[in-house]
A = this chain, B = another copy of it.
Amino acid sequence: MSTNGAQSSPGYSMGPHTLRVPMELFALNRRRLCEALRPRVPDGAVVLLQGGDEVPLYCTDVSYNEFKQEAFFQWLCGVQEVGCFVALRVSDGRCVVFVPRLPAEYAVWMGKLRTLEEFKSKYAVEETAFVDEIPAVLQSLGATELLVLRGVNSDSGLTCKAASFDGIDKFKVDYSTLHPIISECRVIKTPLELEVIRYVVRVSSEAHVRVMKSVVPGMMEYQAEAVFRHYVYQHGGCRHVSYTCICCSGNNGAVLHYGHGGAPNDCGVMDGDMCLFDMGANYYGYASDITCSFPVNGKFTADQRLIYNAVLKANLAVMNAAKPGVSWVDMHRLANRVMLGEMAAGGLLKGDVDDMLKAGLGAVFQPHGLGHFMGLDVHDVGGYLDKDPPRPTEPGVSKLRTARVLQPGMVLTIEPGCYFVDHLLDAALADPVKSKFLVADQIARFRNFGGVRIEDDVLITETGCEDLTKVPRSVEEIEKTMKEKEGGVEIPSHITKVKHGLPSNWHH
């Protein structure tokens, strides 16, 4: 982290060409949390969170590359060093950051050790101390009760690690109050948080456009990942992506979590196929999450256009309908309805769209949810708090990461998709309830099509929904963009050499 000399207040930035994030962002988060907690906790309540540590790669002395801070901790104070704690006195918002006490010789490995005073000014908190001083400082804060984080992440099913320190048994600890309240605070983004999200979504949008302009038949899928990651780091200062890049071409587009260890974006990108690229940069912890789908050769076929426009209409329908007071479950159904209607108009389906929905046809072509909260986690917290509607049970809808009613300040992805998954098509064709809607001989044509997903990051405003994503979306815009090959993009010579000439089994 550097402090920009042009600015007097403390902030984070990755250089003059990147966004400067003021530490006030976290001060505001802390004020909001204290306000939300005050009516529910005693006067002497103090929030205590434990930050992340580096995770060793198996039993070796290297860690999983590049430390990422834990999201609740990041939200509260933005501290980037490993092994820290933070305490927040609810009554007056006094904040203390605790850093590890390092031996002097660490300077050789880690650099000049910052003093407590330097940490205090770097993060603009009221006080700093060493981790071994936690009990004493909590005493001095008059802590009668510690509010510690314990709760289940509704996406992973994992329970977050509660803060723990030597001497915690001397304190009264409340493990239940904090989690739902801080999660709810995280659901509604502040203007300062939105500025960071706008920035990282913009940088990711630019990188997607760069990728679009650099795709040539014969390249490897992961080379698109390389272009994306390079762009967001070089131009945006984004060291991390928010999730493993999903770079599918052709039939791989029907694999929702493509890019994993067993399928690491390692196929050749073939003329005539579609790309489905789902990638999002991360800046100071804040995520973006964008998917672009387009033809490898820059020109949609009639079939590609049919499926693409069906998904795009679903995306736009939600974009137009999403606003405060609307249920996200209804938005999912709306997207399904529009997409199935378009597929029927295109001759792939037959019958009444309402009946299709009842028969669960939405989940045959879009087995995932419409979208999710996004913030410091790409699948952000707060989707299913106790006060909120429970997870629906219908196929497809059950995959939604939240069933909540929209409110201003929520940030979500809108990401309808249409996929031709053999496993799901075979099951649907074998099921009389579903098969009567399927035009089997038309659908057969799409067996190796893969899929289309159109994913935007949006903000729910007072009156509607603002799309933060800035990428070409219509067929015409995409075709125009892909004609503009970037002068600055480097196409390795081997790619030109093997153009159109990859062995056919480079494609899985």
Interface residues of chain A, those whose CB is within 8 Å of chain B, are: 1-6, 14-17, 52, 54-71, 80-82, 104-105, 107-112, 114, 152-153, 155-156, 158-161, 220, 222-223, 225-227, 229-230, 233-235, 237, 239-244, 252, 254-258, 260-264, 266-268, 367, 377-379, 419, 421-424, 488-490, 492, 494-495, 498, 502-506, 508
Q: Is the CB of B258 within 8 A of A379?
A: no
Q: Taking CB as reference atom, which chain B residue is nearest A488?
A: B490
Contact, CB under 8 Å: A56 / B156: yes
Residue on B nearest A58 in the bound complex, by CB: B70
Known: A5-B503, A60-B156. 4 other contacts (CB 8 A): A66-B264, A104-B423, A109-B256, A230-B230
Nearest CB of B to A103, in Å: 10
- Chain B residues within 8 Å of A4, by CB: 503, 505-506
Question: Which residues of B sit under 8 angstroms from A158, Cβ to Cβ?
Answer: 56, 59-61
- CB contacts (< 8 Å) of A260 on chain B: these are 67, 82, 110
A16–B494 touching, CB < 8 Å: yes
With a cutoff of 8 Å between Cβ atoms, the chain B residues found around residue A242 in the complex are 62
8 Å CB contact of A60 from B66, B107, B225, B377: B377
Q: Do A61 and B156 touch (CB < 8 A)? A: yes
- Cross-chain contact B55 with A111 (CB below 8 angstroms): no
B506:A261 contact, CB within 8 angstroms = no
Given contacts A6-B503, A65-B241, contact A107 B266 (CB under 8 A): no
Q: Shortest distance in angstroms between A481's beta carbon and chain B's nearest beta carbon?
A: 19
B16 contacts A506, C-beta separation under 8 Å: yes
B244, A66: Cβ atoms under 8 Å?
yes
Residues of B contacting A57 in the complex (Cβ-Cβ under 8 angstroms): 68
Tallying the copies of this chain within the complex gives 2
Find out whether the CB atom of A262 lies under 8 angstroms from the CB atom of B81.
yes
Cβ contacts under 8 Å, A67 to chain B: 260-261
Q: Bound complex: CA of A104 vs CA of B367, how far in Å?
A: 14
Give me 29 A-to-B residue pairs in the complex whose CB atoms sit less than 8 angstroms apart, sorted by A's number: A1-B262, A1-B264, A2-B266, A2-B267, A2-B506, A5-B504, A5-B506, A16-B494, A17-B498, A57-B68, A58-B160, A59-B153, A59-B158, A60-B158, A60-B379, A61-B153, A65-B241, A65-B244, A66-B264, A69-B261, A80-B261, A80-B262, A104-B423, A105-B423, A108-B421, A110-B257, A226-B233, A230-B234, A489-B490
Shortest CB-to-CB span from A272 to chain B, Å, is: 19
Contacts of A14 in B (CB 8 A): 220, 222, 266
Give A155 Cβ to nearest chain B Cβ, in Å. 4
- Interface residue from B5, B15, B64 paired with A55 (Cβ < 8 Å): B64
Contacts of A161 in B (CB 8 A): 58-59
Q: Is the CB of B59 within 8 A of A266?
A: no
Interface centre among A108, A220, A267, A379 (most CB of B within 10 A): A108
Residues of B within 8 A of A504 (CB): 5
Known pairs A111-B252, A243-B62, A264-B66; A505 contacts B237 (CB<8 A): no
Q: Is the CB of B234 within 8 A of A266?
A: no
B243 A264 Cβ-Cβ under 8 A: no
A285 to chain B, nearest CB (A): 11
Question: Which chain B residue shows the least CB distance to A72?
Answer: B58
The docked-state distance in angstroms from the alpha carbon of A68 to that of B267 is 19
Complex Cα distance, B235 from A104, in Å, reads 42
Report yes or no: B262 in contact with A82, Cβ–Cβ below 8 A: yes
In the complex, chain B residues whose CB is within 8 Å of the CB of A65: 240-241, 243-244
> Are A226 and B234 within 8 A (Cβ)?
yes
Chain B residues with Cβ under 8 A from A255's Cβ? Answer: 107-111
Cα distance A454–B421 when bound, in Å?
A: 52
Pairwise interchain contact B505-A2, C-beta atoms closer than 8 A: yes
Q: How far is the CB of A14 from chain B (nearest CB, A)?
A: 6
**Which single residue of chain B is at the shortest CB-CB distance from A122?**
B262
Q: How far is the CA of A55 from the CA of B53 in the complex (A)?
A: 13
Instruction: State whether B16 touches A503 (Cβ < 8 A).
Output: yes
The answer on a CB contact under 8 Å between B107 and A422 is: yes
A258's closest neighbor in chain B, by CB?
A: B111
CB-contact partner of A233 in B225, B367, B419, under 8 A: B225
C-alpha gap A260/B227 in the complex (Å): 24
Residue of B whose beta carbon sits closest to that of A68: B57
- Specify which of A58, A153, A260 lies most central, judged by the most chain B CB atoms within 10 Å of its CB: A58
- Which residues of chain B have C-beta atoms less than 8 A from A111's C-beta? 252, 255, 258, 262-263, 508
Given known A17-B492, A54-B261, A222-B14, contact A108–B241 (CB-CB < 8 A): no
